Amino acid sequence: MSSDGRYVAFASDAINLVAGDTNGARDVFLFDSQNNTVRLLSKSQQGLQGSAASNNPALSGNGRWVAFASDATNLIFGDTNAFTDIYAVDTVTGLIKRISVTSSGDQANNPSFKPAISQDGRYVAFESTATNLIPGVVRAITVNSGGGGAGYVTPPTVTITGGGATANATAVANVANGAVTSITLTSGGTGIMGRQ
C-alpha cells in the first residue's frame, strides 16, 4: 500500500479484474481507492500480458513504482534466462524494467525473488541465488580427490566456479589430520572461504 493509502498492489489469479485478461496466469494489479479502478501491471510496454505467473508485488511509498517477481519471458525484450526475474514498472508511464541483471545488463543465471522497494522507487532490494549479479561472488567450490582412504594424503586441488570475475580464481585446500579445514583463495580474490 502507498503511504497515503490510495494505492494497493496485489497479485491475483482472477481473470475478471480487468477486461481482456486472457493469459491464464497469476498477474500483478494496482488498485486505486480514489478512483475505484484496477489496472494490470504485469505486462510489457507494448501491452502483451505476461506469459507466466507474476508474484510478490512491492509498492513504493509514493505509489508510483511497483516491483514484482515474474516467470514471464515476454515482459521485456531479450529475456532468455528461463529464471524468475525481478521487474519494476512505472505506474505513470508504463515503463517496465528488469531489475535482476548485472550492471552491464547481463541476465541472472539463477532465480531472483522477494523484492522490496524504497519510498521514492529509486532502490529495489531482492533475494537471488544467481552467482553473476556482482563480480567476485564465489558460489561453488569443488574439492577434487587428492588422496584416499580415511582422509587426504596430500592437499587436493580445488576448482572454483561462478562469480564473474572469480571465474579464473585459484585456491588451495588447507588440510589438517586428513581433512580439508578451509579453502584459501590464491588469486582472483582474497581471504579464507571457510570450512568446506
- The β-bridge partners of 38 are 31
User: What is the overall mean pLDDT for the chain?
Assistant: 82
The confidence score (pLDDT) of residue 71 equals 98
pTM summary value: 0.71
Among candidate residues 92, 127, 10, 109, the one with its CA nearest the CA of residue 58: 10
The residues spanned by each domain of the chain are 7-128, 140-187
For 107-127, what is each residue's pLDDT tens digit?
999 999 999 999 999 999 999
> What value does the mean pLDDT take over residues 157-181?
59
Which cell is 118 given?
524504497
The confidence score (pLDDT) of residue 91 equals 96
The confidence score (pLDDT) of residue 110 equals 93
CATH domain 7-128 topology: Neuraminidase (2.120.10)
Residue 72 pLDDT class (50, 70, 90 cuts): very high
The confidence score (pLDDT) of residue 104 equals 87
For 129-147, what is each residue's pLDDT tens digit?
998 888 755 445 555 555 4
Backbone dihedral angles phi then psi of residue 180, each to the nearest 5 degrees: -75, 120
